Amino acid sequence: MNFILFEDLYDVILLGHSYGGMVITGVVDRIPERISRLIYLDAFLPVDGESLMTTPKVGGMDIEKMSRDGFIIPSWVKPDKLPPKDVPHPLKTFTDLIDLKNPAGAKIPVTYILTVDPGKKPEDDTFFLSSERAKARGWPVIIMEADHVPQWRKPEATADLLNGLR
């Protein structure tokens, strides 16, 4: 949000992937006049008063086992991994409640993209319940056959899909 304000940006398209859904939901609540579109890419879609830990999801990870010294360090976070690489994530961002109060954000166009692993059913995906929330709000939901990180595994298909949303 501060970057958008500091750079005096308008007509911003925000894309939130995974946890990033929490972020873009908060940003559009605070500065909806700067945002022209939201895209949730296999992302959490919270409502007021939820945290990532309380947002409905299918299955889940054992965050307690992955937490150390206030950070979540999943098994795939390796210091010697070549870019792009993940880094430890602050645990508090998973437990803080989101505070949504601005109804103006509801007027921003939104698309939800649910990625589903090949051979699996959408309802078995971790983010399926967030995609159902999107449908309930009347937002278009696109199902993409891909794992959770299509920007890494299917970058061209992901770019083509996103470019088609303009």
- The pLDDT tens digits of the residues spanning 4-14 come to 999 999 999 99
Residue type, position 160, single letter: D
Task: Write down the pLDDT at residue 59.
Answer: 80
Q: Do you know the residue count of the chain?
A: 166
Q: Please list the active-site residues.
A: 18
**Distance, CA of 23 to CA of 95 (rounded, Å):** 13
Task: Write down the pLDDT at residue 38.
Answer: 98
Task: Write down the pLDDT at residue 30.
Answer: 97
Task: Write down the pLDDT at residue 76.
Answer: 76
8 Å CB contact between 10 and 83: no
CA atoms within 13 A on the CB side of 143: 13
Task: Write down the pLDDT at residue 1.
Answer: 95
8 Å CB contact between 55 and 43: no
Task: Write down the pLDDT at residue 141.
Answer: 98
Task: Write down the pLDDT at residue 149.
Answer: 93
Domains parsed from the chain with CATH numbers: 2-58+101-163 (3.40.50.1820)
Tens digits of pLDDT across the chain (166 residues): 999 999 999 999 999 999 999 999 999 999 999 999 999 999 999 999 999 998 988 887 678 788 889 998 877 778 788 887 788 889 999 999 999 999 999 999 999 999 999 999 999 999 999 999 999 999 999 999 999 999 989 999 999 999 999 7
Burial class (CB in 10 A: 0-12, 13-18, 19+), 5: exposed
Helix runs in 11-100, H state only: 20-30, 63-66, 92-95
Q: Which DSSP letter does residue 55 get?
A: S
